[in-house]
Structure 1
Amino acid sequence: MPRTDVPPDADPQLAARVRAELGADASGPLTVLEGGRSGLTYRIDVDGHPLVVKAVPPGREPVGRNDVLRQSYVLSTLAGTGVPVPAVVASDAEPPGWFAMEFAPGEALEPVLEPAPGPDGVLSRTRMLAAARVLGALHAVALDVATDGIAAAGGTPPEVSGPADELEQWTRTMEAVPADLRPGAAELLECLAATVPAPVEPVLVHGDFRLGNLLCDGARPTALIDWEIWGLGDPRVDLGWFGVFTDGAVFPGVGSAVSGLPDEDELAQVYREARGTDGGTGEAVPWFRALGRLKMAAIMGHNLRRHREGRHHDPVQEQLPPTILALIRSAGSVLDGAPA
């Protein structure tokens, strides 16, 4: 008799394709690990070894955040570089595309937005300093090594994005947010536009580098994940964004202060030591820290607008107006040279 205690596959057609590619007809069920705006993530056990499968959502085109194979290219490129990433074990470009990678142990928690592990944030501090070293290792990967690796994996290296390009992108996002949800944003954007710094030597950037995207097993980083928006660009963009998550005060109502976390200056020092060079990241620091805060305010404003328009119902978004205001004010303070 067939067993009845085995969970069904979350997506039978995808499961059949995965098993055929892996040559594992007797694998366990394909179960959903996570479902979100940037593809679907599954787990499957093959010969007793867990794998993670990322796939293009049904009915979606493989563009933007849904282009999961683009993530596989950068993961393959970083294998053996010292940057902790899961190894890609299989991929299939036939629509809808998917790829499978090793399952990395650990948890990914953002201390100022989620309950902090360990007493008084001690473990969070250790993890954040370890994350700074991971970011240094990522930016230490030579640009030609990165582009050659991406091409060898089957991808096309993207155009380099400079500080002006980043500001233009997030200006568009912010200006699409209703004016009453972004007080002070127009003045902040004007100030940033008037003081755009010259670019430095570009590197492979993660695009959303923070502790919430770094799996840690205890204090040890095991995998840098969520590569949906990686690119080639200014290393200070990653560093400035990372720094936003050092202070719970800029997330009133949705976050909390965590004692003992390193501040942005300490993170930058550890990062540069790990990278082995300044790489120009000691220049125009306030501008990139302000840009990171603007980016977060724009994202939150965008999500709140979508909720209020009925495009993505999520009542939690109604908690965001104080944080959007705090982020805009903090960005302005950073540009003025005041404490964040």
Structure 2
Amino acid sequence: MTPISLDEIPYEITDFLGNVKDIRFPRQGHTSDVGIIQSERGYFVLKRTKGEQYCSWLSKEIHVLNCLAPTKLPIPTVFQFVEQQTENQAWALMEFFEGETLRQALGNEKNMNKKLETIFNFGAILSQIHSTPCPKGLIRDSVWLDEMLRQAEVNLNNFKIDGTADLLEILKDNKLTPIENTLIHGDFTIDNVLVRDGEITSIIDWSGGALGDPRYDVALAIRSKPNVFENETEVRTFFEGYGMRIIGEREYKYFVDGLYEFF
């Protein structure tokens, strides 16, 4: 993560912000630089990506967020998006939401009843996503899983990823039986959901949003992490919030230990 200085920010964004009072940099992943900006207009999230792969992800995320703007989902509003092709950078200015990641919240929560309540809400918000009609702008002619396998091969040949050629062949030869596709988030992990006092405040990082297989979201949601989803009670509570259990061990392994290794 590289801190963002004011003189780097595109003028389209600084003109929108007005006088900037403060920028802070939260803990984050490795795909972008993220700053929380306080300006005379309030608080905003500023995201910068570098390189072809990460810039394409940010461009996709902005497209998805704009398509989903009319829905009732708790997602950020996009205020500005700037692509700097000569510098191979992209910038997005988005709405700021109070809260911490679900990973942080669940890892720090000592009260088991409150922890389970938050996990229930996590399942419920995913159910809300999957029951939201998919906007036409996110519907492709191709089958979602076929498209993901094609993109997995592109990533394998062009980027540093965890997946291997042998694993990709196994995934192609053992495709899951299709189910009805829904709107999906595409990277529904405990790092991409913000909470405050147990309530979901926002869902972020929507570059994978599409009409797709809802089992993919569910599998990524319940991956076991330190202090999170390490026991069946927590997994069961998630599915109580979601409303049904739509995956078994085979689907879980196909997505978590298979397809996700390429993204």
How much does 1:109 deviate?
Answer: 3.5
Q: Which residue does 2:75 correspond to in 1?
A: 85
Offset, 1:23: 5.8
Partner of 1:142: 133
The structure with higher relative contact order (CA 8 Å, sep 6+) is 2
- Does the alignment pair 1:286 with 2:249? yes
Letter aligned with residue 267 of structure 1: F
* From 31, 37, 44, the counterpart of 2:37: 44
- 2:58 is aligned with 1:68: yes
**2:121 maps to which of 130, 135, 138:** 130
CA distance in 2, matches of 1:12, 1:135: 39
TM-score (norm 1): 0.60
The offset of 1:289, in angstroms, is 1.4
Cα distance in 1 between the residues matched to 2:106 and 2:198: 16
Equivalent residue, structure 1, for 2:239:
268
CA contact (8 A) 1:132 1:271 kept: yes
- Aligned residue type for 1:41: V
Task: Tell me the SS of whatever aligns to 2:67.
Answer: helix
Change (3 A) 1:226 1:261: farther
SS in 2 for 1:82: coil
Contact 2:44 2:96 in 1 (8 A): yes
> 2:222 maps to what in 1?
243
One-letter code of the match for 1:84? P
Distance in 2 (CA, whole Å) between partners of 1:118 and 1:39 is 28
Partner residue, 1:104: 97
Relative to total residues, which structure has the larger strand share, 1 or 2?
Answer: 2
**Measured at CA, do residues 15 and 31 of structure 1 come closer, stay the same or move farther in structure 2, by a change above 3 Å?**
farther
- For structure 2, the 5+ residue unaligned runs are 157-161
Unaligned runs of 5+ in 1: 1-7, 151-156, 177-184, 249-254, 274-280, 303-340
Q: Helix, strand or coil for the counterpart of 1:56?
A: strand
Q: Does 1:229 align with 2:208?
A: yes
Q: Which residue of 1 aligns with 2:159?
A: none
Instruction: Please report the RMSD computed on the Cα atoms of aligned residues, expressed in angstroms.
Output: 3.7
Between Structure 1 and Structure 2, how many residues are aligned? 251
Amino acid at match of 1:147: K
* Kept after mapping to 2: 8 A contact 1:204/1:232: yes
The question of whether the paired residues in 2 share the 8 Å contact of 1:52 and 1:103 is answered with: yes
**Distance in 2, Cα, partners of 1:90 & 1:76:** 11
Tell me if structure 2 keeps the 8 A contact 1:9–1:29.
Answer: no
TM-score by length of 2: 0.75
